[in-house]
């Protein structure tokens, strides 16, 4: 049993990172599933969504965007602490957090938001 608190914090932060990273990419799979459902609905309605269907799909995408955004922020915050404690225990190979514009997960996050807003705009246009 190791009693060094720095190593324990490092291990916990590393496990947290692994878990949250796995969840972040599972969110992408859910987004693909919802997108496939939307295409299926679009295909079966002769290319026209009803406003309520579009609003519902937009709301689902918005919720998925929000959860993805929270995962990305939490992973970044955890990474700062992980890097700090990694340096204390001798792991100097943890990279610094990347710029948002260089991160594929951030681009995916913005794409989900764009699809959400497009669906909601389509719904609003169909209602009015």
Q: What average pLDDT score do residues 27-52 get?
A: 86
2 pLDDT more than 70: no
50-72 as b/e: b if 16+ CB within 10 A = eeebbbbbbebbbebbebbbebb
What span, in angstroms and rounded, lies between the C-alpha atoms of 14 and 12?
Answer: 5
Q: What is the mean pLDDT of residues 5-22?
A: 93
pLDDT at 48: 74
Residue whose pair of structure tokens reads 């519902």 in the numeric block: 56
Domain count, the chain: 1
Q: What residues make up the domain containing 55?
A: 5-127
pLDDT by residue (tens digit) across 82-107? 999 999 999 999 888 777 778 889 99
Q: Say if CB 114 and CB 39 are below 8 A apart.
A: no
Average pLDDT over residues 19-42: 92
């Amino acid at each position: 049993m190791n009693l060094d608190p720095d190593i324990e914090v490092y291990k916990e932060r590393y496990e947290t990172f692994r878990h949250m990273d796995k969840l972040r990419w599972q969110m992408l799979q859910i987004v693909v599933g919802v997108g496939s459902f939307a295409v299926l609905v679009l295909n079966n309605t002769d290319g026209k969504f009803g406003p309520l269907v579009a609003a519902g799909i937009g709301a689902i995408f918005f919720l998925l965007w929000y959860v993805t955004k929270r995962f990305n922020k939490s992973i970044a915050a955890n990474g700062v602490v992980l890097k700090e404690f990694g340096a204390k225990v001798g792991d100097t190979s943890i990279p610094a957090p990347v710029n948002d514009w260089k991160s594929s997960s951030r681009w995916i996050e913005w794409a989900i938001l764009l699809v959400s807003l497009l669906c909601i705009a389509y719904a609003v246009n169909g209602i009015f």
